[in-house]
């Protein structure tokens, strides 16, 4: 699926005015009603502030209503939902991500097609949540996969970023070796609490090597992991691993810790990450954010030798919200989703979270302390051909488990050979031609 990044990430002022809220009716009373919301990203202040503002706006529109948001980090949220939802309990609204398809299958989510206002959501973003013709989640966050890097460390190594910000395979391997020789951790990455970060390098390499069609086939069981092109990418990635690309504590380093490792202690040259990097990095330094003077840069993932689509890049939906199928307050729940999805909220998201939005807004000029960063991020989108969704949005069952354990952890962690990795992934994922 190809689309304009500008159209995808940002909304026009004219559209914002046109959609608006129009003539608002008198507030409807909701006597002694509590709408319960469970949300991830408790440690990301800008997201917390935006969602809490939506709650207060809804309370003003409905005197007597209380919107109670309970804040979690991801794993505790998943544990709470795992207990509550099968019992027909839990919150009215809760945070979800597109690869949590088991909630759709189990019938825990209410279809949103006729409940929320889809005019403010970009159609491609809504489509991510469509299953069997029904929409089960309202997307809030859009992102792209990028490689963040320390500009000063790159200069220290005597390496200049190419004009297109994209190294070749051999140049990237050489960069990893130079960093390691200088006692600099090449890539700050860890899989201690997530099933995907360890696969950023190999995954983006596969996308560029195979092109969008065969990349999708690979993760939907229609292309063998024994394909020679696939093997070439894994062999190159193994060279990176053997060269010491990742930290020694790769298997236990948590996602949030990898951010801090990159920009603070002990420091690293690069951090492959979704552009939601900003949620943790752009908080105050005393709360774990990057130093104000940190020389942050954004580079492309490396071009693959003979790659079918070296201009390709992953674009995906992250933070989304769903309505509990067991909720008795579905209409109010839908209004809360709408309150988070107004053009004004989309604009605020971009300007305070510094991240792409699923809301159809257009912010042409960036302001604030991180304006230069967002301008550079937009520069990295020029000429890009987007693939919508990451591997975990496509894999299921045993293949999903193997992706987390093999591609994400065991292989980049140096525990598996290329041959063993390809055999295990093929056995779990390939359904035959």
Residue 376 maps to a domain: no
Tens-binned pLDDT, residue by residue, of the chain (433 aa): 444 433 444 333 332 323 333 334 445 665 689 999 999 999 899 999 999 999 999 999 999 999 999 999 999 999 999 999 999 999 999 999 999 999 999 999 999 999 999 999 999 999 999 999 999 999 999 999 999 999 999 999 999 999 999 999 999 999 999 999 999 999 999 999 999 999 999 999 999 999 999 999 999 999 999 999 999 999 999 999 999 999 999 999 999 999 999 999 999 999 999 999 999 999 899 989 999 999 999 999 999 999 999 999 999 999 999 999 999 999 999 999 999 999 999 999 998 998 999 999 987 778 888 999 999 999 999 999 999 999 999 999 999 999 999 999 999 999 999 999 999 999 999 998 6
Write out the two tokens for 33.
């009603």
**H helix and E strand count, the chain:** 18, 13
Q: Are 256 and 296 found together in one domain?
A: yes
Residue with tokens 């990451």, as numbered in its chain: 390
- Considering the domain architecture, whether residues 21 and 98 belong to the same structural domain is answered as yes
Structure tokens at 67: 């919107």
Residue 3 lies inside a defined structural domain of this protein = no
CATH of the domain at 338: 3.40.190.10
How many structural domains comprise the chain?
Answer: 2
Orientation angle between helical segments 169-181 and 228-242, nearest 10 degrees: 20
Shared domain for 81 and 164, answered yes or no, is: no
Residue 373, domain member (yes or no): no
Q: Are residues 126 and 160 in the same domain?
A: no
Q: Are residues 197 and 83 part of one domain?
A: no
Residue 371 is assigned to a structural domain of this protein: no
Same domain? 174 vs 306: yes
Say whether both 230 and 357 belong to one domain. Answer: no
Q: Does residue 138 sit in helix, strand or coil?
A: strand
Boundaries of domain holding 114: 8-141+318-363
Q: Which residues contact 363 (CB under 8 A, 6 or more apart)?
A: 10, 11, 347, 350, 351
In this structure, is residue 372 part of a structural domain?
no
Residue 374 placed within a domain:
no
List Cβ neighbours of 409 (8 Å cut-off, separation of 6 or more): 191, 198, 251, 415
Pair (88, 196) in one structural domain: no
Does a structural domain hold residue 378?
no
Task: Tell me, yes or no, whether 160 lies in a domain.
Answer: yes
């Amino acid at each position: 699926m190809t689309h304009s990044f500008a159209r995808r990430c940002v909304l026009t002022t004219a559209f914002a005015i046109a959609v608006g809220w129009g003539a608002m009716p008198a507030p409807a009373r909701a006597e002694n009603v509590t709408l319960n919301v469970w949300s991830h990203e408790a440690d990301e202040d800008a997201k917390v502030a935006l969602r809490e503002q939506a709650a207060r706006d809804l309370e003003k529109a409905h005197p007597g209503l209380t919107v109670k948001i309970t804040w979690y980090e991801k794993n505790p949220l998943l544990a709470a939902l795992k207990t509550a939802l099968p019992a027909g309990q839990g919150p009215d609204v809760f945070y979800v991500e597109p690869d949590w398809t088991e909630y759709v299958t189990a019938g825990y989510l209410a279809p949103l097609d006729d409940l929320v206002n889809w005019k403010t959501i970009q159609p491609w973003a809504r489509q991510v949540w469509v299953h069997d013709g029904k929409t089960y989640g309202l997307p809030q966050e859009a992102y792209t996969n990028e490689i963040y890097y320390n500009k000063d460390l790159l200069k220290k190594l005597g390496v200049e970023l190419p004009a297109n910000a994209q190294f070749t395979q051999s140049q990237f391997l050489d960069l990893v070796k130079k960093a390691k020789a200088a006692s600099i951790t090449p890539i700050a990455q860890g899989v201690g609490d997530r099933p995907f970060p360890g696969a950023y390098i190999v995954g983006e390499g596969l996308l560029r090597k195979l092109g969008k069609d065969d990349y999708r086939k690979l993760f939907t069981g229609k292309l063998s992991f024994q394909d020679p092109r696939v093997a070439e990418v894994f062999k190159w990635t193994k060279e990176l691993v053997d060269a010491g690309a990742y930290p020694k504590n790769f298997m236990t380093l948590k996602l949030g810790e990898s951010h801090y490792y990159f920009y603070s202690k002990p420091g690293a040259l690069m951090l492959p990450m979704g552009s939601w990097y900003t949620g943790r990095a752009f908080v105050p330094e005393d709360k774990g954010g990057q130093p104000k003077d940190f020389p942050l840069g954004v580079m492309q993932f490396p071009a693959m030798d003979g790659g079918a689509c070296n201009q390709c890049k992953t674009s995906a939906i992250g933070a989304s919200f769903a309505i509990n199928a067991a909720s008795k307050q579905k209409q109010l729940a839908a209004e809360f989703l709408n309150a988070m999805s107004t053009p004004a909220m989309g604009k605020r998201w971009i300007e305070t979270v510094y991240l792409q939005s699923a809301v159809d807004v257009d912010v042409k000029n960036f302001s604030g302390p991180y304006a230069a960063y967002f301008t550079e991020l937009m520069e990295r989108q020029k000429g890009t051909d987007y693939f919508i969704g990451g591997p975990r949005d496509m894999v299921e069952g045993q293949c999903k488990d193997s992706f987390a354990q093999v591609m994400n952890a065991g292989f980049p962690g140096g525990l598996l050979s290329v041959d063993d990795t390809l055999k295990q992934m093929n056995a779990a994922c390939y359904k035959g031609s």
